Structure 1
């Protein structure tokens, strides 16, 4: 397969996807630009409350007519397996849409993101007949047990950095558990998810169970969170927006929320890490992937004193080997920033970090225009105080700081962040060191000798503290879309 393609030849879907079909609704126009060249990809409307109301009505009708929640679990699984097959059969089309509209490189979307999306759906389909309860101890003439049931309608709001795969973590689990879904795309990256919803219809998923609406957070997103018939909210995005969602969910009617939020993840490298050339490649690649637009980005490198100078030089050298370019070119190795607005935000924070006393070691500026797209140089700081914006705030770009530590206890102290606790990693061949960091660091995800997950589905994603609560993926990610009912039967 030749991965590179001409973006102007790809058909782009339009409208919202409600009740199993594309629907055009009036609303403020949303102009979607390709981040690689700032050219128009499509124009959609902000659906607002009307699109959410229509989706909820379609979801309620679908749940009632199809009996999705109460049908034989294996019958539900068969539909989801067909859905997964459809996704994989259309991997080239979905992968091209994903590459065009986001910062994801085509070298990783067709054979990576889309295939994994199909895998997520299959993984959760296997859980359909594995929803179990518990019988509790009682006296002889009484039966007490628990059973898990779907909520009904799930509201999901997904980010722009990994549009397809992050959405699949939510809709795959929610549908497998017997729910209907009303999902809002990011206004920056809507098209691949709209096309996926159409494939669900073609695979035989009852119309109305999976609805995708477009719009802004303060309009369509708020309408999802506050709708009384939406029983649970799942959101991935910034800590500030997560807090606003919690507040709105409480004010508009008590309902649970699942939040995966921002991070300021540490990456601890000890003297026992191993070959420094290998470590430099691993460490540098981990913060340059997707141009740093990753919630778990290891944006704080903590390096043991005795290897800090040498490793820092090697990491800086690695950042010089990037090949920025359009996402539809298979030779591109470094992605664009999602929008001009985000590029300006990153640069503003970088300049403020310098102003507040940090030392710039590499980068620190926009890259020379590539195809008129939004590109920012991999940026490395040192001497970033804990009061500096470079420590306190999330860049969501290819920006890291380097600090030194004297011993492992010092590293663990520096690794803790007063707000965030999403992810962390440690690089060492000494497993006693590794497990000490694993036990002590405050983070919902910890990696050893890598940073970031492999393409597996059993590993749960979620953070501590200001990085959220609840889990995506794994058994916990499936059970999150069910609620437990206690049953007491007296038969004497």
Structure 2
């Protein structure tokens, strides 16, 4: 079966999805372009406070009428299981929307993104009857209970990279915990999430529990954070925006936030890492997948000097083997940059890094002649000092910086970053060295002999320092949408 498709044949959702249906509301119109060719995909309206208020009203009504948080947990799970099943049944359509509107390739969006989105919903559905409290130790004639309760209405703001799966990390545990959700899509990639909201309604998620509103971050996103009836915020995006959300949440009522933010993730490669060709494949994929538009992208290669030249040579060979093209062509292996604005930002940063002393051993240019889309050549930079912009800031594009070290302690020192601490990887066949490195690296996620999450949902995602706090995924992912209540009964 071929996965390639004609974008003109795919139906595009229109409007916000509020109260279980598509809703047209007034607002400044935003044109959504396909990154592969910068052609028109659809129009959305910047919902702002009006759309958020309508979504909150729908959420309040749904919570009251459905008693979603009070129904038998297995009944809640059954609804979410139906939702997961519908996602799988509609994986082709969802994957096509995701491929057209984002930088995700059709070779990935159906079999990975859509299927894993269903998997996340199913994973958290299974948590519904496993939300348990505790009885704490007390003196005689007293009973101390700690129970977990949903917040009520929670807000979620998701980025343009991996739109479906990142959204699922938030709406699935929030719904499983008994909350209603008001979620803002990125204005660049709204359509697949709107389609998911429609499937949720078809699955029997009570109308108003899963609402999706469109708009800009500074208007619609800010309205979500400010709203007094939205009691918890979960955000994935840049460190700068995360800081702004923290400030706004504090100014508008003191509400908890979960932030999964930017990264400058190191790939620490030891000389005993094993087959160097296999390692080169891992390293290259870690900064080129999705054209580097991944929060956890392995953008810093730190390699033992004994193998550095050979490893870099093999990584460069992989940068030459890409096939850049439309996301809806299954033969494409290299994705576009999400927008011209982001393309120009990456190019400006690379040029600034070079002007500050770095050298480009490959790439460093815009890829022209790719259907008018936004493509940037995979780039490898050397001689990037600590005060170079290429070290200090996140490219969020297919750019790798290279440094070498002579011993493990030196490599670990180079792996540290003053601002970011999202993820890291260690490549070695020596388990003792691997675990020492994992213990030493200051990051929320450390992989050994791989880079990136893979298909597992069981362990948490989140960072240290400027990469955020709080967790998505795993048990921590549902705990993020529950608050604790302590009950003390004196029966003396």
- Is TM > 0.5 for Structure 1 vs Structure 2? yes
1:262-411 to 2 correspondences below 5 Å:
262-411=262-411
Aligned residue in 2 for 1:89 = 89
CA shift, 1:23, in A, is 0.3
CA shift, 1:302, in A, is 0.2
Return the alpha-carbon distance in structure 2 between the equivalents of residues 74 and 279 of structure 1.
45
Aligned residue in 2 for 1:73 = 73
1:179-207 CA distance string (max 9 Å, x none): 00000000000000001100101111100
1:155-182 CA distance string (max 9 Å, x none): 0000001000000000000000000000
Return the alpha-carbon distance in structure 1 between the equivalents of residues 85 and 15 of structure 2.
24
Deviates more, 1:454-463 or 1:183-192: 454-463
Aligned: 1:454 with 2:454: yes
1:66-465 to 2 correspondences below 5 Å:
66-465=66-465
Aligned residue in 2 for 1:467 = 467
Return the alpha-carbon distance in structure 1 between the equivalents of residues 190 and 182 of structure 2.
14
Return the alpha-carbon distance in structure 1 between the equivalents of residues 266 and 138 of structure 2.
48
Return the alpha-carbon distance in structure 1 between the equivalents of residues 474 and 419 of structure 2.
26
Return the alpha-carbon distance in structure 2 between the equivalents of residues 368 and 433 of structure 1.
44
Runs of at least 5 residues in structure 1 that lack an aligned partner in the other structure: none
Aligned: 1:34 with 2:34: yes
DSSP 3-state at the match of 1:354: helix
Contact 1:369 1:375 in 2 (8 A): no
1:353-379 CA distance string (max 9 Å, x none): 000010111100011221111100000
Return the alpha-carbon distance in structure 2 between the equivalents of residues 85 and 276 of structure 1.
41
Aligned residue in 2 for 1:3 = 3
Contact 1:63 1:180 in 2 (8 A): yes
1:17-48 CA distance string (max 9 Å, x none): 00000000111111000000000000010000
1:316-342 CA distance string (max 9 Å, x none): 111100010000000000000000000
Contact 1:264 1:420 in 2 (8 A): yes
Return the alpha-carbon distance in structure 1 between the equivalents of residues 324 and 402 of structure 2.
24
Task: Supply the RMSD in Å over aligned alpha carbons.
Answer: 0.5
CA shift, 1:290, in A, is 0.2
1:218-237 CA distance string (max 9 Å, x none): 00000000000000000000
Return the alpha-carbon distance in structure 2 between the equivalents of residues 229 and 208 of structure 1.
14
DSSP 3-state at the match of 1:306: coil
Return the alpha-carbon distance in structure 1 between the equivalents of residues 341 and 369 of structure 2.
15
CA shift, 1:87, in A, is 0.7
Contact 2:300 2:401 in 1 (8 A): yes
Return the alpha-carbon distance in structure 2 between the equivalents of residues 35 and 318 of structure 1.
23
Return the alpha-carbon distance in structure 1 between the equivalents of residues 474 and 283 of structure 2.
26
Return the alpha-carbon distance in structure 1 between the equivalents of residues 148 and 323 of structure 2.
50
Return the alpha-carbon distance in structure 2 between the equivalents of residues 176 and 275 of structure 1.
43
Return the alpha-carbon distance in structure 1 between the equivalents of residues 329 and 91 of structure 2.
17
DSSP 3-state at the match of 1:472: coil
Greater than 2 Å deviation, 4+ residue runs = none
TM-score by length of 2: 1.00
Aligned: 1:45 with 2:79: no
DSSP 3-state at the match of 1:242: helix
Return the alpha-carbon distance in structure 1 between the equivalents of residues 251 and 325 of structure 2.
45
Aligned residue in 2 for 1:478 = 478
CA shift, 1:140, in A, is 2.2
Contact 2:286 2:299 in 1 (8 A): no
CA shift, 1:271, in A, is 0.6
Return the alpha-carbon distance in structure 1 between the equivalents of residues 386 and 118 of structure 2.
42
Contact 1:381 1:400 in 2 (8 A): yes
TM-score by length of 1: 1.00
Return the alpha-carbon distance in structure 1 between the equivalents of residues 98 and 275 of structure 2.
36
Contact 1:156 1:181 in 2 (8 A): yes
CA shift, 1:421, in A, is 0.1
Aligned residue in 2 for 1:58 = 58
DSSP 3-state at the match of 1:258: strand
